[in-house]
């Protein structure tokens, strides 16, 4: 009987070595391939048969979601009409571990006639696909994780990792931002995390706990009670934020003074003059990070003139992004 964990660890070690082996072999060919894809005025078209096709499909999806328009075409279907999706302004990324896949090789001549650039990703630098491409990316591995040496395992992992490297470099070259990424991922919890802003979930208008800097503590207490936040946003005569005052501040005053003689004081004498603020356009996930980092449970959202327009709490931010 086999040792299950030993076999699993060995497989992972072989695949890890396959990826590690790519690093010293990155050379000018990789740079040329990236530049071809970056300068492409059309799209990147990936193709490959079998397991290489699955990897090619995933690479296309990763490229598309990170700012490089891409699609996958099956080489068999391409020979029967799907080549109509390719234009001379496109760059074709063709995957084949052997570099001798007949279905892929059959596409090279028509692609040349169209004027498309061809990047080959193979495990055999001497293969026909590698020789006929404009650029060859070496994805060779010394050993497959499959003990029979037959099922593509380490080789497909290496090709996948090399495709990720292309996508990541292109992402950086395009100055692709989380906001850009959010546009391509509007659905599900990831979309909510990347698209929900403070303005989407904050309390505003009549729900905003506002109090004048000259209001007495007696006058501020109803704001603390009625607006559910236990926190008052202190503003000056122009409506600009000048501080905050909380139930906790009131409790500390009571404990320090051992009485209520301070209740007629204007709130500006006891407020926090430097409350944390955010822009209403900030992602709710970033507002959540600010609250967690500073160990606070709410933030005021202010406009360009430092006028409060909303308030967002820790739990509201957590619910908004399905944290």
User: Which tokens sit at 320?
Assistant: 């908004």
Give residue 153's Cα distance to chain centre: 27
Whether 180 has a pLDDT exceeding 90, the answer reads no
Calpha distance 264→218 (Å, rounded): 6
Would you tell me how many other CB atoms lie within 10 Å of the CB of residue 210? 16
Calpha distance 86→285 (Å, rounded): 40
Calpha distance 258→137 (Å, rounded): 76
Which tens digit of pLDDT belongs to each residue from 236-259?
A: 999 999 999 999 888 888 888 766
Strand order in the sheet with 241-246: 210-212, 231-235, 241-246
Three-state secondary structure call for residue 151: coil
Average pLDDT for 140-147: 92
Whether 188 has a pLDDT exceeding 60, the answer reads no
Read off φ and ψ for residue 241, nearest 5 degrees: -70, 130
Residue 314, pLDDT score: 85
Average pLDDT, the chain: 91
Residue 186, pLDDT score: 60
User: Which tokens sit at 237?
Assistant: 């005569």
User: Which tokens sit at 40?
Assistant: 């492409």
Which tens digit of pLDDT belongs to each residue from 55-113?
A: 999 999 999 989 999 999 999 999 888 899 999 999 999 999 999 999 999 999 999 99
Calpha distance 265→219 (Å, rounded): 10
Average pLDDT for 218-223: 92
Calpha distance 197→320 (Å, rounded): 9
Which tens digit of pLDDT belongs to each residue from 257-304?
A: 766 678 889 999 999 999 999 999 998 888 888 988 888 889 999 999
Whether 176 has a pLDDT exceeding 90, the answer reads no
Give the length of the chain: 323
The domains found in the chain, sorted by start residue, are: 4-176 (3.40.50.10490), 198-320 (3.10.580.10)
Average pLDDT for 209-222: 93
Read off φ and ψ for residue 271, nearest 5 degrees: -75, 165
User: What would you report as the CA-atom Rg of the chain, rounded to the nearest whole angstrom?
Assistant: 30
Number of continuous H segments (helices) and E segments (strands) in the chain: 14, 11
What percentage of the chain reaches a pLDDT higher than 70? Answer: 93
Average pLDDT for 170-198: 74
Give residue 33's Cα distance to chain centre: 24
């Amino acid at each position: 009987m086999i040792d299950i964990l030993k076999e699993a660890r060995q497989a992972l070690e072989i695949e890890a070595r396959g990826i590690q082996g790519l690093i010293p072999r990155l050379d000018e060919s990789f740079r040329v391939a990236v530049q071809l894809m970056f300068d492409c005025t059309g799209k990147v078209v990936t193709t490959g048969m079998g397991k290489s096709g699955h990897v090619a499909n995933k690479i296309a999806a990763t490229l598309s979601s990170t700012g490089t328009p891409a699609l996958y075409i099956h080489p068999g279907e391409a020979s029967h009409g799907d080549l109509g999706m390719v234009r001379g302004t496109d760059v074709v990324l063709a995957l084949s571990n052997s570099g001798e896949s007949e279905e892929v090789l059959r596409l090279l001549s028509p692609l040349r006639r169209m004027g498309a650039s061809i990047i080959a990703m193979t495990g055999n630098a001497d293969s026909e696909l590698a020789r006929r491409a404009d650029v060859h990316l070496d994805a060779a591995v010394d050993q497959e994780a499959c003990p029979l040496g037959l099922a593509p395992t380490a080789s497909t992992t290496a090709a996948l990792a090399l495709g990720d490297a292309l996508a990541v470099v292109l992402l950086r070259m395009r100055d692709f931002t989380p906001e850009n990424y959010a546009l391509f991922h509007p659905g599900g919890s990831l979309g909510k995390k990347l698209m929900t802003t403070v303005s989407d979930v904050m309390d505003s208008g009549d729900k905003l706990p506002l109090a004048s800097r000259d209001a007495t503590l007696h006058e501020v207490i109803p704001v603390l009670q009625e607006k559910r936040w236990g926190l008052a946003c202190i503003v000056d005569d122009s409506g600009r934020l000048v501080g905050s005052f909380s139930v906790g501040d009131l409790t500390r005053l009571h404990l320090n003074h051992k009485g209520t003689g301070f209740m007629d004081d204007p709130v500006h004498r006891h407020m926090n003059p430097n409350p944390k603020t955010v822009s209403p356009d900030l992602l709710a996930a970033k507002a959540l990070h600010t609250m967690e980092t500073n160990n606070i449970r709410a933030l005021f959202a202010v406009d360009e003139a430092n006028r409060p327009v909303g308030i967002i709490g820790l739990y509201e931010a957590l619910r908004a992004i399905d944290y």
